[in-house]
């Protein structure tokens, strides 16, 4: 497409609608996939995309036999659109709160495999919050720590509950509960069969699986001077690799308990290998959390015995 001078000097409601359609196309991975999300036909979606490209004066997407993809300009517009829509939604939420009780949407992001932790009272907190704020629609996302932090900074998530591993000037974080991380092996692992599971020297020579992003798990491996030979990006993947019998790995004790009961996993009885993981609730400083997010944060702190 021949580039022309952009004429988007002012944003109208129609422009915002076109940007939301473009966001749906980009996040869905193409026009066909966006049909279900937008509930409009592909031809209409294509026309709206063309209108937006003419409005902006740039080509946003590559479409053809090679498949769908964003142009370099499209990537820039996508990130700018996300920031703009977050700011608009935040503004609308704050204005609505001036005239009514807690309303709108709240996006909560949580790290995986926490429900079975007896120290976690998140379900109880959500029940209390729901009674206090029935006008707020909850959206719960499961994500890794890095994605949770990124989402809080971008305003896509309003509250995050996750293992804490580093302080950030851009986030407010408050301690909630602890999780005990123990080292496990499959019953088929060679060290189990050889009766060497308590031999720390033999353990250090074994192959480990570790989480593949910055986390308390990664920091513990650094402290031990170990380099995992396999990487997992959620606890379910860690269990899979441990159950293969090739790797040792750390798991939350509450999550591993059913696998132990079924005789699939055994705990490695070496105290120097275990560690504690502290879970925090976090909110972004900019954009600042709204009243709904603040209220949930207070409930989380109170029900976990941390008044803040």
CATH code, domain carrying 296: 3.40.190.290
pLDDT value at 211 more than 70? yes
User: How many domains is the chain partitioned into structurally?
Assistant: 2
Q: 194 and 54: one domain?
A: no
> Is residue 96 in a domain?
no
> Is residue 6 in a domain?
no
Q: 34 and 151: one domain?
A: no
Q: 83 and 160: one domain?
A: no
> Is residue 304 in a domain?
yes
Q: In this predicted structure, what is the pLDDT of residue 165?
A: 81
CA angle 176, 182, 185 (to 5 degrees): 150
> Is residue 92 in a domain?
no
pTM of the predicted model, to two decimals?
0.67
Q: In this predicted structure, what is the pLDDT of residue 151?
A: 92
Q: What percent of the chain has pLDDT over 90?
A: 54
Mean pLDDT over the full length of the chain: 88
> Is residue 8 in a domain?
no
The domain of 266 spans 104-308
């Amino acid at each position: 497409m021949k580039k022309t001078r952009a004429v988007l000097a002012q944003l109208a409601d129609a422009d915002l609608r076109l940007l939301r359609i473009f966001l749906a196309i980009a996040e869905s991975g193409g026009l066909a996939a966006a049909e279900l999300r937008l509930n409009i036909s592909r031809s209409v979606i294509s026309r709206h995309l063309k209108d937006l490209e003419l409005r902006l004066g740039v080509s946003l997407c590559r479409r053809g036999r090679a498949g769908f993809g964003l142009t370099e300009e499209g990537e820039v517009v996508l990130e700018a659109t996300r920031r703009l829509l977050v700011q608009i939604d935040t503004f609308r939420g704050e204005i609505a709160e001036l005239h009514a009780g807690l309303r709108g949407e709240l996006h909560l992001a949580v790290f995986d495999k926490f429900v079975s932790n007896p120290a976690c009272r998140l379900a109880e907190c959500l029940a209390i919050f729901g009674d206090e704020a029935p006008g707020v629609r909850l959206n719960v996302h499961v994500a890794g720590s890095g994605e949770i932090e990124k989402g809080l900074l971008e305003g896509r998530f309003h509250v995050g509950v996750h293992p804490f591993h580093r302080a950030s000037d851009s986030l407010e974080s408050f301690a909630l509960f602890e999780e005990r991380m123990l080292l496990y092996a499959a019953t088929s692992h060679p060290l189990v069969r050889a009766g060497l599971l308590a031999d720390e020297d033999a353990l250090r020579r074994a192959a480990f699986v570790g989480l593949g992003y910055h986390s308390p798990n990664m920091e513990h491996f650094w402290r031990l001077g170990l380099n995992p030979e396999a990487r997992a990006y959620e606890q379910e993947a860690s269990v899979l690799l441990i159950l293969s019998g090739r790797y040792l790995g750390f798991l939350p004790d509450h999550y591993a308990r059913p696998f132990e009961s079924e005789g699939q996993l055994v705990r490695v009885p070496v105290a120097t290998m275990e560690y504690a993981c502290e879970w925090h609730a976090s909110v972004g400083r900019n954009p600042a959390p709204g009243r709904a997010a603040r209220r949930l944060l207070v409930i989380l702190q109170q029900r976990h015995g941390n008044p803040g």
